[in-house]
Amino acid sequence: MVDQSPREMMLCIEDIKSAAGHRLPASTRDFYNSGSTDQVTVTENSTAYGKYRLRPRVLVDVSNTDTSTSVFGQKIAFPLCVAPAGIQAMAHPDGELATSRACAKRRIHMAVSSFANYSVEDIRAAGLDKGPIEHTMQIYTMQDRAKQERIIKRAEVAGCVAIFLTADSPVLGVRYSEHRNDFRTPEGLHFPMLEKTSEMIRAETHEGGFTGFNSRSHSWAREIPWLRSMTKMQIWI
């Protein structure tokens, strides 16, 4: 067998999870891999795909197949984009910058989390330096409307094409692993979109920090008209 680097042996998502599981601290690994309570939804997010079957089409010319599609008026290589995920710098120092570069290289788009460790401006620039890419900005309904507006305006000025509203978290689910590990964000990581330093974040539990800024009073009647008044970007829910 030809010697291959560990990166070349990352052939599927499970390979990546396995390799990361051996390298990351337990609290970080559990943060990325775990969900709330019994993790029923986490499991179904994977097992749901097992219900699909590919219908074989034999003796069909596949010499000129095309997996590309169009999103935001821009052609992408195949119908997949990267969803918003926060605190990526726990896994690699470049965090969301590296993700943005990788997306641009593979010609797919990326959503930026409000919990990103780099600013939306820097994340956009990192991707565009490698090729054409579009970004959306994930936001929560926040108690501090002025801060929420600043996030939206920064995303719009940076060139994001849509707001990605998280609508299923008026409260944060009970995450057993975070309680068992007393999960805290590692030192040195910052949250520029939330305007918080590493020290400010470390003084809070993940659950406590989320509860402190997230609003439980969001509703269709209140949130969507307000967002529409704030931006010309598309609104995704």
Mean pLDDT, to the nearest integer, of 111-132?
97
Per-residue confidence (pLDDT) for residue 205, from 0 to 100: 65
pLDDT of the residue at 85: 94
In tens, the pLDDT along 20-61 reads 888 999 999 999 988 889 999 889 988 998 889 988 889 999
Asked if residue 16 is part of any domain, the answer here is no
Q: Name the residue range of residue 117's domain.
A: 83-237
Q: pTM for the complete prediction?
A: 0.88
CATH number of the domain enclosing 89: 3.20.20.70
Amino acid at 164: F
Residue 148, burial from CB neighbour count under 10 angstroms (0-12, 13-18, 19+): buried
Number of domains making up the chain: 1
Spatial separation of the C-alpha atoms in residues 188 and 157, rounded to whole Å: 27
**Domain presence at residue 43:** no
CB 225: neighbour CB atoms within 10 A?
Answer: 10
Is residue 28 a part of any domain in this protein?
Answer: no
- Percentage, residues of the chain above pLDDT 70: 94
Asked if residue 66 is part of any domain, the answer here is no
pLDDT at 100 over 90: yes
Is 118 among the domain residues? yes
Q: Is residue 23 part of a domain?
A: no
User: Considering the domain boundaries, does residue 70 fall inside one?
Assistant: no
Among left, alpha and beta (phi > 0; psi -120 to 50; other), residue 74 is beta
Q: For the segment 191-230, what is each residue's pLDDT rounded down to a tens digit?
A: 999 998 877 877 776 666 676 678 888 889 999 999 999 9
